Amino acid sequence: MSEAQAQQADASVTSQGGSARVALKGRLDANSVAGLWDRVVPPVRDSGFSTLTVDGKDVSYCDGAGIGLLMELALVCRARKASISYEGLNEDLRLLLEKATPAELPPPAATKPDVVSSIGLSASSVLSDLYGLVEFLGESIKAFGWAITHPTRVRWADVLLVCERAGVNALPVVMLLGFLMGLIIAFQTATPLQEYGAVSQIPVLMGLAMVRELGPLTTAIILAGRSGSAFAAEIGTMKVTQELDALNTFGVRPMRFLVVPRVLAAMIMTPLLANFCTLMGLLGGIPTMLSFGYTLQFYIEGVRSAVGPEDLLQGLFKAVIFAFVIGAVGCQRGLKTGSGPGAVGRSTTSAVVAGIVLIVVVDGLLGVVFFYLRL
């Protein structure tokens, strides 16, 4: 397009009373509209009109850029609830403009909320999320009641498969971290205890800490990052690919078909893994005791005298509760997965974060309960 052709386009805006008039002429193309836009749209937007007339009888050519200018004028009128009329437009151009103008106004740009609003929105989001988790935990308990009363209808093949993936395959990392944790705790506590001549109390400390607390807690945190995220990713992918919709169409309940096998497998394997983690943690304290001149027999006897059956049962009970929380939260995040390419990633991240936070909260509550029960 030559400059001479671009200069053939012109526009004028006149306003009188509550009416405004825009007269267009010449070729409305990409070259000419770029110069006309600021001469037409801002004056129209700033004028206090209730009726806008667009005169296009002198328009000789109009492409997409010209349609964009006409459509912008129409949107300005719609936003101000003013009427707009066209004069002189040929029929083809009028039909094209009607098809190009959206049926609804685009949503206004979101404004950043102030500090108080941000706090309120965050609190509302947390409470809503907590309500969803509690609701899902209730549904999970109901589904487990169904599984207990209908054991033959539980998909035990899937339970065994999840036991292998979430339990057996996690055994090496659980044992490694358990041993390292025991080694580090024994080594770090030996120096301050030596100042008070209490190195002999390391077996007592290691026994109570690993059996009651660190064994189940470490195992639960590992499984929250490993298995809880896997549950969320698997079910979330099924949600994105509409496999869950297919199950609902066939009358298959996702709670019984997907959630029960995974949570049940987690509750079976987590106590076993916690025992391995506890054992390796206790073994991790042996090198420290040997380095201070104590015998292996002394260490074993010290652990046996400090730990009783109630301590072991307390750790196992914690492991079962942690497993239920991990499995339920992972599945809940997967079922709540939204749409879009990043939905599964967000669900996975949320499952890990929520799982670890809830594990720590539940551990604190159980600690208070056991304290008052004198366990």
The two tokens of residue 237 are 């992918």
* Separation of alpha carbons 313 and 307, rounded Å: 11
pLDDT of 92 reads 76
* Separation of alpha carbons 254 and 270, rounded Å: 23
* Separation of alpha carbons 150 and 84, rounded Å: 69
Is 315:274 a contact under the CB 8 Å cutoff? yes
Q: Tens place of pLDDT for every residue, the chain, 375 residues?
A: 444 444 477 888 888 777 888 888 888 888 888 888 888 888 888 877 788 888 888 888 888 888 888 888 888 887 777 888 888 878 777 777 777 766 655 555 566 777 888 888 888 888 888 888 888 888 888 888 888 888 888 888 888 998 888 888 889 999 999 999 999 999 888 888 888 888 888 899 899 899 988 999 999 999 998 888 999 998 988 888 888 888 888 888 888 888 888 989 999 999 999 999 999 999 999 998 888 888 889 999 989 888 888 889 999 999 999 999 999 899 989 888 887 778 888 889 989 998 999 999 999 999 899 888 875
Residue position matching structure tokens 């599984």: 147
Farthest-apart Cα atoms in the chain, separation: 105
Q: Alpha-carbon Rg of the chain, whole angstroms?
A: 35
Task: List Cα–Cα distances, 295 to 152, 202, 278, 354, in angstroms.
Answer: 52, 13, 20, 43
pLDDT of 356 reads 92
The DSSP secondary-structure symbol of 20 reads E
Q: What are phi and psi of 8, to 5 degrees?
A: -70, -25
* Separation of alpha carbons 160 and 320, rounded Å: 17
* Separation of alpha carbons 337 and 285, rounded Å: 43
Residues ≥6 apart with Cβ < 8 Å to 47: 13, 15, 20
pLDDT of 108 reads 54
| Prediction pTM value | 0.67
- The side-by-side arrangement of strands in the sheet containing 51-62 is 10-16, 19-28, 51-62, 83-87
> What CATH number is given for 3-100 in this structure?
3.30.750.24
Bridge partners of residue 21, in order along the sequence: 14, 53
| Domain ranges, ordered by start, for the chain | 3-100, 128-372
